[in-house]
Structure 1
Amino acid sequence: MEQKEPPDMSAHEIGALALRDITELTGKKPLGATSVMPTDDGWTVEVEVVEDRRVPSSTDMLALYEVVLDLDGELLSYRRTRRYSRGAGDSAGGQR
């Protein structure tokens, strides 16, 4: 049996797939991918999402989701790793 060659997908394409998947699964509006990292068997993408819109928008609740895709760009898993208010920054000691 011949071994299948992995598709040649760019980080940009993988990021776009992760954004699409998070939108479909959560119904929330993604702000963008904050990281796209290749792994031995696929990709891990972090996506920032508006969890809860508030007035004023500076008080919106945001979330960071970790999305795991295989080499073909198929979703394997996702999970929310952090929830925070807009403008909170990374001053929480670097912890998620």
Structure 2
Amino acid sequence: MPSERQTSGRHPHDPRDERRQEERRPEAHRDGQGTGQRLPAPKAMRLAVDQLKELLGRAPESISALRPIDDGWEAEVEVLELERIPVTTSVLASYRVTLDAEGELMAYERIRRYTRGQIDSRT
């Protein structure tokens, strides 16, 4: 009598089975949370932007830096603080955002303010 594996026509180690198991796992395990693994960089970026937006009430324009730290992530996020005409005179700010290993915002601070048309003098 043929086994189920033989009648299905699939190889005993079918990659589709692994994908199905992955889909059944709780979300926390798929993105690295709760497993001792670091959150993926794209997820950390989204979390930093979303949580800073919630606190400031302004949508961040971009992330200029993202780096892993011992127990999470640190990001530098650019936010439009004062819109002016012409737009090159609008005031932006850089915020340093610290996320813990689960992606929760632990701290933020404004580290710099500048006009949009300003070019860094750092080389």
TM-score calculated relative to the size of structure 1: 0.86
C-alpha contact (below 8 Å) 1:7/1:72 kept by paired residues: no
Offset at 1:83?
0.4
State the distance in 2 between where 1:43 and 1:16 align: 12
Offset at 1:43?
0.6
**SS of aligned partner of 1:58:** helix
**2:111 aligned with 1:58:** no
**2:68 aligned with 1:38:** yes
**Percentage identity across paired residues of the two chains:** 42
- Structure of larger gyration radius: 2
C-alpha contact (below 8 Å) 2:99/2:106 kept by paired residues: yes
- Which residues of structure 1 form unaligned runs of 5+? none
More strand by share: 1
More helix by share: 2
Offset at 1:89?
1.7
Offset at 1:6?
2.3
Tell me which moved more, 60-69 or 9-18.
9-18
Offset at 1:14?
0.4
Q: How many residues end up aligned between the 2 structures?
A: 90
Instruction: Tell me which stretches of 4 or more aligned residues in structure 1 moved more than 2 Å.
Output: 4-8
TM-score calculated relative to the size of structure 2: 0.68
Question: Which structure is richer in relative contact order (CA contacts within 8 A, separation 6 or more)?
Answer: 1
RMSD, aligned α-carbons: 1.5
State the distance in 2 between where 1:24 and 1:41 align: 23
State the distance in 2 between where 1:29 and 1:57 align: 17
- Which residues of structure 2 form unaligned runs of 5+? 1-33
Q: Partner residue of 1:69?
A: 99
Q: Partner residue of 2:42?
A: 12
Offset at 1:85?
0.5
The residue type paired with residue 90 of structure 2 is D
